[in-house]
A = this chain, B = another copy of it.
Amino acid sequence: MDDPKRSTEELILEAAQAVFLEKGLAGARMQEIADRAGINKALLHYYFRSKDKLFEMIVSQAIGTILPRMLAVLDTDLDLFEKIRRLVNEYIAFVSRNSFMPLFIVNEVNRNPQFFFKSLVQQERPHLDTFRRQVDEAVAQGRIRPVSSAQLLMNLMSMVIFPFLGKPVFQVALGLSAEEFQLEMERRRTEVAEFIIRAIRV
């Protein structure tokens, strides 16, 4: 049951992440976190003073890992089309492995935008500007159709993330088993990029 490798603190953070991602802040129970970590409530509070503190830790951990990863590719000096292929491919791969993340992030971002605001503005602004400039230049050079970088980015992020949020609906609506759905997501790792490229190519 106990992996001697992982410290108690890590065990707690893992359990807390699991529970918070599934149930949200209000829906999560400290008792359940303790149970899943294989410890008791007293020890849980011994490590993390309060539920809110623990939650904040999970949020910043989640955003801190997902945001840099998301923006890293935006800053490379790849060709635009190649960059789009990489973005789509890597983002979908990441979300596939962390399928509870999107719903959690989306909830937290809507519940408390301030927090996200600080994370984003300070460090990560340049990455977006690079992408923006790249799109604008490609438009100016007539290499792609006139498209706003804002709209393009929204389209990309939407097609990458949303299917995981709507998974239960899509699965039923399209009559897919869990494995078939996963397979469909694998397909998207290349198809969405080509879809986008066809849409903007002159």
Contact = CB atoms under 8 A, between A and B. Distances in A.
A45 interface: no
A158 B92 CA distance: 14
A159 to B, nearest CB: 5
Nearest to A185: B154
Interface string A126-164: 001000000000000000010110110111011101110
In this complex, which of A103, A113, A154 has the most chain B Cβ atoms within 10 angstroms of its Cβ?
Answer: A154
Tallying the copies of this chain within the complex gives: 2
Say whether chain A's binding surface is mostly helix, strand, loop, or mixed: helix
A151 B199 contact: no
A170 B154 contact: yes
Given A159-B159, A191-B151, A168 B103 contact: no
A158 B188 CA distance: 13
Nearest to A168: B113
A198 interface: yes
Contacts of A165: 106, 110, 162, 165
A185 to B, nearest CB: 10
